[in-house]
Structure 1
Amino acid sequence: MSKEKAIKIKVSLLQMGISQAQIARDLELDRSTVNQVINGTRRSQRVENYLNEILSKAQSVKNDVRNYEGNIGQDNGQENE
């Protein structure tokens, strides 16, 4: 992983309130392993798949919120009298 991607992952995890330690506990790994995978100094398909899963869920939620916010205040075809 590139340094930029590692930073994006770390920021996303922080925004979601998920720590590297929590990921390590969930996967029954050392926190250092998760950190090394995020920083690109180690490869682990298991950690990468887990990160992809939680980050894609987070992106889906962000998209849902954007769609919801975009629909607030839009004319629903009914006129107020």
Structure 2
Amino acid sequence: MWPPPALVVAAPALGIQGAFSNVLLTIVDVEEDRRAGSRTLPVRRGVQVSVGVLAVLAAAAYGLAGLTPRPWGGLLPSSSPSCCWAG
């Protein structure tokens, strides 16, 4: 079956993570971007709105990642095989 079910869920999570990284890095450069005429989200809407967008993107990425099927079965990391845990 193409694409594999894990990829259908994981790919959007990785795309959202990329968007998160982009917004995060533009918050750091907001004054420089404003002077350069870049129309990034923090320049257009402000840092406070951008931080809210970061929270939504993080929740979406982690939510999708938690739904990604694991090869050992189960959905959450706590269902990982005991062979991988020291103790």
TM range (shorter): 0.3 to 0.5
Q: TM-score, normalised by structure 1?
A: 0.36
| TM-score, length-scaled by structure 2 | 0.34
